[in-house]
Chains A and B, each alone.
Chain A
């Protein structure tokens, strides 16, 4: 095998390999919409996170703006402390409302942010004051049955 032919093949191989890596990164992994380096942290306390998982998306108006990084239980208030990384491009007012929502009826759960009207913006490490827990299906059914029962009571 001639030296130059070999070099050519190896060059092609390396280019193909790096090309495949780039395809994976850009076309499949969608690198660029979300980057850890340019992000800030927000914390929210929830009474109940339901089935929220680490790495679940954080969405505002349906747009992914960040990800859940950590979920822990506070030993003082026995709330769940959810740490989120939010893309630097998106800033939220201080009275932003965070709730745990479900995509579709039985889909995965995510954190939804609804912006308020405050002038000041949340900074890295800030805590979101207004939160709404996950809707737990069992609780909902229980509530529904309870309401139905009380309605029936009223009729009599």
Chain B
């Protein structure tokens, strides 16, 4: 029996050491990516190419989901608010929920599952097919040439995608509340404008998306680069990217929100 306990404790210790080691390894990789970003900054066409894959190809899902999330918010918000005779506040409700929380978080989750997984799979496959090794043998650093452009493209696209998501959502809320239900258009916008604060709501939302962009792409490139060079390795890494990103986005969102809106409410 005591032997079992020792084995159990050893198992816990092993896992803790492993995960700390991996965290350190990931941080070191992240620093290397930042240090070796010079090449992609000088040759911006490398980033543009990746912007197409991370940004443009994620656009469709962001546009459609943004529109529907906004429409649902408008519908549900109207149902509840009209009981209190405050249906003109539906614009405020839609805008605040989107700009503060739903925009950054949902866009971040969609970004992780569409672009993040693609980045991991692509880098992982390049590793499996020895493309990264080949690049190293050609005296080209794969971190500078492959990882850094993808990282920066992700960091640039994420805030833009989240902004498009929020704008699309507000448009969806407008469609439902004003066009379909018939809430007064002027009141819809003026109520929204009188409550939504540029500095506290919009800028804070953008800051959040920047954090999410860095986190998701850093996880995606690391998982891809670190993947076991087999088919299962790459599929496992892709799954880990999506799961870890989702958890990190939600956790970060709580931490950032509690910092940003401290003393309010």
Residues of A within 8 A of B (CB): 1, 6-7, 9-10, 12-14, 16-21, 23-25, 27-31, 33-34, 36, 53-55, 64
Contact = CB atoms under 8 A, between A and B. Distances in A.
Given A17-B164, A20-B160, A29 B48 contact: no
30 contacts: A1-B52, A6-B48, A6-B52, A10-B56, A13-B55, A16-B59, A17-B55, A17-B157, A17-B159, A17-B161, A19-B167, A21-B160, A21-B206, A23-B170, A24-B167, A25-B198, A27-B193, A28-B99, A28-B170, A28-B192, A28-B196, A29-B99, A29-B196, A29-B197, A29-B198, A29-B202, A33-B193, A53-B264, A53-B265, A55-B264
A36 B52 contact: no
B198 A30 contact: yes
A13 B99 contact: no
Interface in B196-235: 196-202, 206
A25 B197 CA distance: 9
B163 A21 contact: yes
A36 B159 CA distance: 23
A16 B192 CA distance: 22
Interface string B244-265: 0000000000000000000111
Given A17-B163, A53-B265, A54-B263, A25 B202 contact: yes
B213 to A, nearest CB: 12
Contacts of A9: 52, 56
Given A6-B48, A30-B193, A13 B163 contact: no
Interface residues of B, number: 34
Q: Is the interface of A mostly helix, strand, loop or mixed?
A: helix
A27 B167 CA distance: 10
Nearest to B63: A16
B198 A18 contact: no
Contacts of B52: 1, 6, 9-10, 13
B95 interface: yes
